[in-house]
Amino acid sequence: MKARRLLGYRRRSRLGVNVVMIIISLLLVLPLWYVLNNAFKVEKEILRQPLVLLPSTVTLENVVRAFTAMNYPLRFMNSVVILALSCAFLVSLGTLAAFGIAMANSKFMNRVYGVLVAMITLPFQLAMVPLIFMLKGLGLMNTYWGTALVYSGWFLPFVIFIYTGFIRTIPRELEEAGRVDGCGLFRSLLSIYIPLLKSVTGTVLILRGVPIWNDLLVSIITLSRSTLSTLPLKLYSFIGTYGSAGTKWTLVFGSTVIVSAPILLVFLFLQRYFVKGAVAGAVKG
Amino acid sequence: MERRGLTQAQRRQFACFLFTLPALVVVFVFFLFPMLRSLVYSFTNWDGIGRDVQWVGLKNFVTVVTDSSFRQVVINTLYLIVIYVPVLNVVALLLAVAVYNAGRAGSIYKSMLFFPNLLSMTVIALIWKIIYNQGGILNQFLKAVGLKILTRDWLGLPQTVLPAMSFTIIWFAVGYYLLIYLAGLNTVPVDLYESAEVEGVTRAQKLFRITIPLIAPSITINIVLSTIGIITLFDLPMVLTRGGPGYLSQTLALHVYFYAFVQLQTTYALALAVLLGIFAMIITSIQLRLLRRREEASR
């Protein structure tokens, strides 16, 4: 609460700050509102008066047409499967590795950890080309598994970094006490550590799940078969066929909204965790 | 007894290594190994398919660097770094201070400003494509308020395409960097401001003498993160302009993709990817060194 009272600025200046911030926030979300409200306008109205910020007649036609035109259920399922597989890899392998690194606490493992941390900032473009040829060789091109493994290889260093940082803040006595009671490493991971890792797992899922869900780069190079394309990838190919000509505005508005809908719903319910999780990663870094 | 204890410790170490192994295998196979291959193969004529691989020395690099598009692509990338990183960080810091000072409503502004960050960059780019379009909302707005003279094809002209793109990326990213600055601000002890107030310190002095030195770590994180972010950014420029018109908004990150998957010139893609990696490492390590030194100096 003390922080909220803030810097002892006078009340009048706080009012000024609020007025400015209301204007800035509204301006910032204006483009999103523009798209949202146009998605529910009739085509004629979009063309005639696109600047009006409320539709005079609300129609679901654009959304429904976009839904069928992009085969939404299929794209949605592709996105969900790839996200679920990737997150399963990231969380399970990430937890195991971080636990191993933190428990070993040896020179060798710390060096391995150092290499992993150094890899966090390496650009994906550096691995991209040989990676694709390798996926082809392994028969992993155009598969859910292949795409999920690419995300995993790319993001695991970061996930291990987050988990290791957290596990190292847990007092070692906990594990040592377990060892005295005859608890093996695996047992203490399962019964002592994993229950403590819930919140940091939430952070990991937000920090890497959202980028995976929204990603275009990996999906565009690993999923060339159109039946496998994810929501963003399908939206991208949509633009090619409709958007730039500017003729099918209705479909563009409609598809943009339905592609964004799932994450918006999740955000509405888990807003607090999103905002908290987004910072946690960077501050630890 | 002692020997047995030692082997037990070793066994424990080995068990720890086994825990780490699956992740290491995935990272190695799907990230590190391809990277090393890029490094090695950028000096060969390897095209991904042929078996007969021969050393060609620096030939690929020379070809890439002397290509007529290279200069433009490097200029664009530097332009984005020089414009985007400072503007983004100044705006994010000022907004963070404002959100901090806004009192209870702060969390609402925070969520609103963070909001674009959740959407796919494909969606974001598409929205701004509609806005910047020749017949798009920006031009219609300008016409409506009597500034017809300013209307133009924002993404189609050499003078406006990169500023327009920078603006969109800043609009997208500012909420995230704001959150990090806000977290930094929340660690500053409030008493400091109170005692400064008693001594009649001006608002600007508070910002430059108290706030900025104390949140130096957040500034370091944000500058490095935003630089890496802009150097490797792919999705947004890809959808917004595809590097066009011509090469006028093509960045290094995009150029690697085009070499590899559009023009199918694997050897050049590898050489350019290596240059991109070196470029990213040099810039971020210089930044880190400078910023860390400043952080220490301001303590």
Tell me the domains of chain A and their CATH numbers: 2-58 (no CATH), 66-284 (1.10.3720.10)
What does the alpha-carbon distance between residue A44 and residue A65 come to, in Å, rounded to a whole number?
16
Do the Cβ atoms of A236 and B239 come within 8 Å? yes
Distance CA A224, CA A278 (A): 31
**In chain B, which among 186-205 make CB contacts under 8 A with chain A?**
186, 190, 193-194, 197
Chain segment B162-190, per-residue pLDDT in tens: 999 999 999 999 999 999 999 888 888 88
β-partners of residue B55 are B44
Q: What is the pLDDT of residues B76-122, one digit of tens each?
A: 999 999 999 999 999 999 999 999 888 888 888 988 999 899 999 99
Mutation to test the A interface, candidates B12, B120, B199, most A Cβ within 10 Å: B120
What CATH number corresponds to the domain at position B177?
1.10.3720.10
Tokens read off for A114: 């150092």
Q: What is the DSSP letter of B103?
A: G
A100 vs A189: CA distance, rounded Å = 10
Q: In which residue are the tokens 């370091």 written?
A: B220
CB-CB under 8 Å, B23 with A109: no
**Domain contains B189:** yes
CB-based contact (8 Å) between B167 and chain A? no
Q: Chain A closest CA to B126's CA: distance in Å?
A: 8
Using a CB-CB cut-off of 8 Å, the residues of chain A touching B98 are 17, 20-21, 24
- Tell me the residues of chain B between 101 and 160 that have a Cβ less than 8 Å away from chain A: 101-123, 126-131, 133, 135, 137, 140-141, 144
Neighbours of A10 (CB within 10 A): 9
pLDDT band at B298 (very low <50, low <70, confident <90, very high): low
Number of compact structural domains in chain B: 1
B250 located within any domain: yes
**Whether B30 and A131 lie within 8 Å, measured CB to CB:** yes
Q: Is B221 on the interface with A (CB under 8 A)?
A: yes
DSSP class per residue in A98-160: HHHHHHH--HHHHHHHHHHHHHTTS-THHHHHHHHHHHHHHT-TTSHHHHHHHHHHHHHHHHH
Q: CA torsion sign, A77 to A80 to A84 to A86?
A: positive
State both tokens at A104: 């070993």
CA distances from B82 to A65, B221, B226, B227 (A): 43, 17, 11, 9
Q: Taking CB atoms and an 8 Å cutoff, what residues of chain A touch B17?
A: 100, 104, 109
* CA dist., res. B133 & res. B153, Å (int): 6
- The verdict on whether omega for the bond into residue A130 sits within 30 degrees of 0, i.e. cis, is no
Length of chain B measured in residues: 299
Burial of B244 (0-12, 13-18, 19+ CB in 10 A): middle
- Tokens encoding B221: 């994180």
Question: What letter represents residue A45's amino acid?
Answer: E
Lookup: tokens for A79: 């996105």
Across the interface, do A89 and B17 touch by the CB < 8 Å criterion?
no
Residue B101 C-alpha, separation from nearest chain A C-alpha, in angstroms: 6
| Rg (chain B; Cα; Å) | 25
B284 part of contact set with chain A, CB < 8 Å: yes
Provide the pLDDT for residue A5.
46
Residue B41, in any domain of the structure = no
Q: What is the pLDDT along chain A (285 residues), one digit of tens a residue?
A: 344 444 545 556 788 888 899 999 998 988 888 888 888 888 777 777 667 777 777 888 889 988 998 899 999 999 999 999 999 999 999 999 999 999 998 999 999 999 999 999 899 999 999 999 999 999 999 999 999 999 999 999 999 999 999 999 988 888 888 888 777 888 888 888 999 998 899 989 988 999 999 999 999 999 999 899 999 999 998 776 654 545 577 888 889 999 999 998 998 888 778 877 777 766 544
Task: Please list the alpha-helical segments (H only) found in A168-230.
Answer: 173-180, 185-188, 194-196, 198-204, 210-214, 217-222
B64: closest CA of chain A, how far (Å): 15
Q: Which two tokens stand for residue A224?
A: 């060339």
The answer to the question of residue B228 being in a domain is yes
pLDDT greater at residue B53 or residue B21? B21
Q: Is residue B49 part of a domain?
A: no
Do the domain assignments include residue B182? Answer: yes
B183–A contact, CB cutoff 8 A: yes
Chain B interface disruption, residue of A6, A12, A18, A21, most B CBs within 10 A: A21
Residues of A in contact with B23 (CB under 8 A): 93-94, 96-97, 156, 160
Range of the domain at B88: 60-297
Give me the pLDDT at residue A283, please: 57
Name the residue of chain A whose CA is nearest to B275's CA: A126
Percent of chain B with pLDDT over 70: 97
User: To probe the interface with A, which of B30, B128, B215 has the most A CB atoms within 10 Å?
Assistant: B30
Interchain CB contacts (distance < 8 Å): A and B = 318
Cα A254 vs. chain centroid, distance in angstroms? 22
Dihedral (C-alpha) A277, A117, B24, A94: value to the nearest 10 degrees? Answer: -20
SS3 of residue B244 by DSSP: coil
Q: Are B85 and B230 in contact (CB under 8 A)?
A: yes
Q: By CB neighbour count within 10 A (0-12 exposed, 13-18 middle, 19+ buried), where does A251 fall?
A: buried
Looking at residue A258, its amino acid is I
CB burial string B40-51: b at 16+ within 10 A, e below: ebbbbebebeee
Cβ distance A97 to A119 under 8 Å?
no
Query: Is residue B191 over pLDDT 90?
Result: no
A204-208, B47-51, B126-130, B197-201: the lowest-pLDDT one = B47-51
- Cβ–Cβ under 8 Å, residues B206 and A8: no
B32 inside domain: no
Q: What is the largest CA-CA distance in chain A?
A: 77
- pLDDT averaged over chain B? 89
The residue type found at B124 is: I
Residue bearing tokens 């295998």: B25
Angle at B242 between CA A229 and CA B171, to 5 degrees: 90
Q: What is the pLDDT of residue B5?
A: 56
Q: Count the residues in chain A.
A: 285
CB A96 within 8 A of CB B237: no
Long-range pairs of B67-72 with CB within 8 A, sequence gap ≥ 24: B67/B268, B69/B247, B69/B250, B69/B255, B72/B246, B72/B247, B72/B248, B72/B250
Question: pLDDT per residue over B32-67, tens digit each?
Answer: 999 999 999 999 988 877 778 889 889 899 998 999
pTM for the predicted model, two decimal places: 0.91
Phi-psi region of A157 (alpha: psi -120 to 50; beta: other; left: phi over 0): alpha
Residue with tokens 């300013």: B150
Report which of B222, B248, B226, B221 is spatially closest to residue B237, judged by C-alpha positions: B248
Whether residue A128 and residue B273 make contact (CB cut-off 8 A), yes or no, is yes
On whether residue B39 sits in a domain, the answer given is no
Question: In chain B, which residues have their Cβ closer than 8 Å to the Cβ of A219?
Answer: none
Q: What is the mean pLDDT of residues B196-223?
A: 85
